[in-house]
Amino acid sequence: MKIRIGIIGGSGLENAIEGERVLVNTPYGDVLVKVGVMVNEKVAFIPRHGERHETPPHKVNYRGNLWALKTLGVERVIATNAVGGIRDGLNPGDLLIPHDFIDFTKGRTYTFYDQKAVHVDLTTPYCPEIRRIIIEVAEEMGIKIWDGGVYVCTEGPRFETPSEIRMFRLLGADVVGMTGVPEVILARELKMCYATICVITNYAAGMQKRISHEEVNEIMRGKTRVIVEIMNKVVQRIPVERKNCMCGL
Ligand code: HPA
């Protein structure tokens, strides 16, 4: 059976989905995927940082992860990311579904196409259909969710400086994280739909006294259950045919 839906779980979701462990062979190395069932749908789950959160953002095998999902037949990817809130009004614990991103990473591998000039269109980087379904589901569940926002991705693994955050705010960024890029780009190169649920775990640098990894993890842990509940419903609602987006064209 083909697996249509892939989930890339960020911090806190490492063990959110149980399933059979499958090692998928890719040109970028072997990738551990957990194949599980969500309600009535088979899903392929990848904990982005490894099962024990051992891989930092700049060392994640982004190409391997996306390639492995594609190999299993996945056409639609739902991800999660921990982020800092930049825009006023965004508070720790809030969920936000970004519609666009700005890339401030520095040294990652951004493409599958090293031998050929391929320029993917990112006018609509995140799948509008999956975004809409996530937002609909959350609203029906009575969960507050922000529809749209600009995700700025930094190289990490350090947090930002207050001046960097001021710059990002001027540039129009709403949230800041370390793992959204190049994942979203690579999904598009493989013609997969991709959307992500951002969990705001802290106010960005300079907007609160200090930021700690422990604080980020604690907020994420507190949100794991609700995210899995949202995902369960989203997975059931994603249509088989991709008619309402251009991600696969
Ligand atoms: N900056 C970058 N990445 C993050 C943050 C942050 O403030 N919070 C959670 N992930």
Per-residue pLDDT reduced to its tens digit, 82-121: 999 999 999 999 999 999 999 999 999 999 999 999 999 9
Distance, in Å, from the CA atom of 5 to the CA atom of 95, rounded to the nearest integer, reads: 21
Would the pTM of this model clear 0.95, i.e. be above it?
yes
* Mean pLDDT calculated for residue range 151-165: 98
pLDDT at 49: 92
What pLDDT score does 75 carry?
Answer: 97
Residue 68 clears pLDDT 60, i.e. is over it: yes
Position 145, amino acid: I
Query: Contact, 17 vs 7, CB < 8 A?
Result: yes
- Ligand 1 closest atom vs CA 177: 3
At 80, list the tokens: 């999660």
Q: Give me ligand 1 centre to Cα 199, in Å.
A: 10
Strand, helix or coil for residue 59: helix
Determine the distance separating the centroid of ligand 1 and the alpha carbon of 176, expressed in angstroms: 6
Whole-number average pLDDT of the chain: 96
pLDDT tier for residue 149 given thresholds of 50, 70 and 90: very high
d(CA 60, CA 48): 7
Taking residues 129-141, what's their average pLDDT?
Answer: 98
Pocket probe mutation, ligand 1, options 96, 151, 176, max atoms within 8 Å of Cβ: 176
Distance separating alpha carbons of residues 199 and 112, to the nearest angstrom? 28
Name the strand (E) or helix (H) holding 146. Answer: strand 145-147
What are the pocket residues of ligand 1 if the criterion is a CB atom closer than 6 Å to any ligand atom?
82-84, 154, 159-160, 176-178, 201-202, 204, 211, 216
pLDDT for the residue 11? 85
Report whether pLDDT(53) > 90: no
Q: Which long-range contacts (CB under 8 A, 24 or more apart) does 142-147 make?
A: 143/95, 143/226, 143/230, 144/94, 144/95, 145/94, 145/95, 145/96, 145/97, 146/90, 146/94, 146/95, 146/96, 146/97, 147/97
pLDDT digits 0-9 by tens, 180-234: 999 999 999 999 999 999 999 999 999 999 999 999 999 999 999 999 999 999 9
Task: Look at ligand 1, atom 3, and give the residue with the nearest C-alpha.
Answer: 177
Confidence of residue 12 (pLDDT cuts 50, 70, 90): confident
Contact 77, 48 (CB under 8 A): no
Radius of gyration of the chain (CA): 17
Rounded distance from Cα 152 to ligand 1 centre (Å): 10
Q: Is the pLDDT of residue 131 over 70?
A: yes
Which pLDDT band, with edges at 50, 70 and 90, does 244 fall under?
very high
pLDDT recorded at residue 95:
98
**Residue carrying the six token digits 């507050």:** 144
Between the alpha carbon of residue 163 and those of residues 89, 166, 167, 207, the distances in Å are 20, 5, 6, 11
Residue 2's pLDDT is 79
pLDDT of residue 1: 57
Nearest CA residue ID for atom 10, ligand 1: 83
Atom 7 in ligand 1: residue holding the nearest Cα: 84
Spatial contact of 14 and 59, defined as CB atoms under 8 Å apart: no
pLDDT tops 90 at residue 16: no
